[in-house]
Amino acid sequence: MKTIIEPFRIKSVEPIRMTTREEREAALDKAGFNLFKVPARDVLIDLLTDSGTGAMSSEQWAGMMRGDESYAGARSFERFEAVLQEITGFAHILPTHQGRASERLLFEVIGGPGLVVPNNAHFDTTRANAEHSGCEAVDLPIAEAKDPSSRHPFKGDLNIPALEALIEKVGVERIPAVMITITNNSGGGQPVSLGNMRAVREVCDRHGLRLVLDACRFAENAWFIKLREPGQAHRTIPEIVREVFDLADGVTISAKKDGMVNIGGVLLLRDETLFQKASELLILTEGYVTYGGLAGRDLEAMAQGFQEVLDEDYLAYRIRSTAYLGEKLLELGVQIVEPPGGHAIYVDAKAFCPHIPPAQFPGQAVVVGLYREGGIRSCEIGSVMFGGGGHAAPALELVRLAIPRRTYTQSHIDYVVEVFEALYAKRKELRGLRITEEPPALRHFTARFQEL
């Protein structure tokens, strides 16, 4: 059938407040043209992030009522641990309050000044935590990843020759781990092939290096492997997921993505010594090792969510409904990162408004325009997020439209398309911006702007 239907029924609803253009203009001015600073009540369709913004299932809510809030050794942790062990094969599992807490623990135990961490593409908090420890974060995407119009099926792949060259250049002793982000959030939500991950594992084995996955969207990546990679169509999602995790020595996960919850994270480690060090740090800053800064009810919701995300009916709907938005934008003439990714559509801001140079943040101009035109909140992934602080301007200037899980219907997405159509017709009127205030790191969260 052509119609995309949600493989669930709506049981509870949350009202959306309609806003006027005048109200949105006032909100932009008060927020310094930074959509992170706009109150959620003033947002009509919120595509800022898919992190923790989805709707939980009736089984997850039921699990929360069963939550064991014991400080140590709670039944809820036992269930959480058993589910993660079954899915991933890892014996050593630490719960954390979200993905960046897992990243912080990881880089505190493996990072340090003078070290170099290669990745297909670090996302914002991963890069920030690596650099905070003293590491240099190096992105090694394949060439196709830099071309938004390329239809390469696995544009998230790590560049193997570039990895070999980096190892030769800096030396094995300076690389605490090789990382792969699945899916590649910075590069358009593009998946990584199983073949590429196997090849990276082979390089790591040959040089005695650890392989660590940033696996926030591991199930979505597995669906792309099943859908696009030769020889994988007959396999189940749990089988593909397990092989992916079997390739890794460590994993960080924000459960706010494919864990299908509003809060939570995971750190997986094979090395017993690293696990003990991370456990000590967890107790120091997050909580005891069986709750990691979370309530027992959160552990129950995570355990259920990690099981639900493996459902193929859900994944087929999730990936296809996201692609629907991308296809509609392409029909309008809006260039996106092709082919559409799993959790978001990424608009090529350079192509959308070529009259705005990167130094004036074309991505942020589109973000502001979408909110002004129709109350849509989105996220810039370009020179605002990854520029500044001595970093070179990124190759791509993108606007991410991240789709919360099980939250919006097709009519909501059709509205987003209509707003884009209106904005695209007047795109030459979009104005660049300059930064008036910014912090030393992760400036996109709190910077203030002024239109030029």
Q: Is the pTM of this model over 0.85?
A: yes
Longest CA span, the chain:
61
Question: Please, which residues have CB within 8 angstroms of residue 354's CB and are 6 or more apart in sequence?
Answer: none
What does the pLDDT read at residue 393? 73
The answer to whether 325 touches 417, Cβ cutoff 8 Å, is: yes
Residue 316 structure tokens: 């087929």
Q: What is the mean pLDDT of the chain?
A: 93
What does the pLDDT read at residue 26? 95
Q: What is the pLDDT of residues 59-79, one digit of tens each?
A: 999 999 999 999 999 999 999
Three-state SS at 371: helix
Q: What is the pLDDT of residues 290-304, one digit of tens each?
A: 999 999 999 999 999
Residue 419 structure tokens: 């707003």
Residue 225 structure tokens: 């492997």
Torsion of CA 322, 328, 332, 338, to 10 degrees: 40
Residue 160 structure tokens: 């193997």
Percent with pLDDT over 90 in the chain: 81
Rounded CA separation 304/83 (Å): 8
Q: What is the pLDDT of residues 339-382, one digit of tens each?
A: 998 899 999 999 999 999 988 999 999 999 999 999 999 999 88
Helix pair angle (237-246, 194-207), 10° resolution: 20
Least confident window among 24-28, 405-409, 426-430, 435-439:
435-439
For 378-447, give the secondary structure using H, E and C.
Answer: CEEECHHHHCECCECCCCCCEEEEECCCCCCCHHHHHHHHHHHHHHHHCHHHCCCEEEEECCCCCHHHCC
Three-state SS at 307: helix
Residue 390 pLDDT level (bands cut at 50, 70, 90): low
Residue 277 pLDDT level (bands cut at 50, 70, 90): very high
Residue 45 structure tokens: 């369709």
Check pLDDT > 70 for residue 392.
no
Q: What is the pLDDT of residues 210-231, one digit of tens each?
A: 999 999 999 999 999 999 999 9
Q: What is the pLDDT of residues 84-141, one digit of tens each?
A: 999 999 999 999 999 889 999 999 999 999 999 999 999 888 998 999 999 999 999 9
Question: What number of other Cβ atoms are within 10 A of residue 390's Cβ?
Answer: 5
Rounded CA separation 192/329 (Å): 24
CA angle 233, 406, 372 (to 5 degrees): 115
Peptide bond into 339 cis (omega under 30): yes
End-to-end C-alpha distance for the chain, whole angstroms:
48
Q: Which one-letter DSSP state was computed for residue 249? A: S
Residue 241 structure tokens: 């997921």
Whether the CA torsion 267, 229, 343, 333 is positive or negative: it is: positive
Question: What number of other Cβ atoms are within 10 A of residue 447's Cβ?
Answer: 23
Residue 389 pLDDT level (bands cut at 50, 70, 90): low
Domains and their CATH numbers in the chain: 21-50+311-451 (3.90.1150.10), 58-308 (3.40.640.10)
What does the pLDDT read at residue 391? 63
Three-state SS at 86: helix
Which of 402, 439, 406, 369 lies closest to 189, judged by CA?
402
Three-state SS at 195: helix
Rounded CA separation 278/276 (Å): 5
Least confident window among 35-49, 128-142, 305-319, 387-401:
387-401
Question: Please, which residues have CB within 8 angstroms of residue 339's CB and are 6 or more apart in sequence?
Answer: 151, 153, 323, 326
Rounded CA separation 81/290 (Å): 9
Matching residue, tokens 């070179």: 392
Rounded CA separation 280/106 (Å): 12
The pair phi, psi for residue 137, each rounded to 5°, is: -95, 120
Which of 270, 221, 326, 241 lies closest to 109, judged by CA?
270
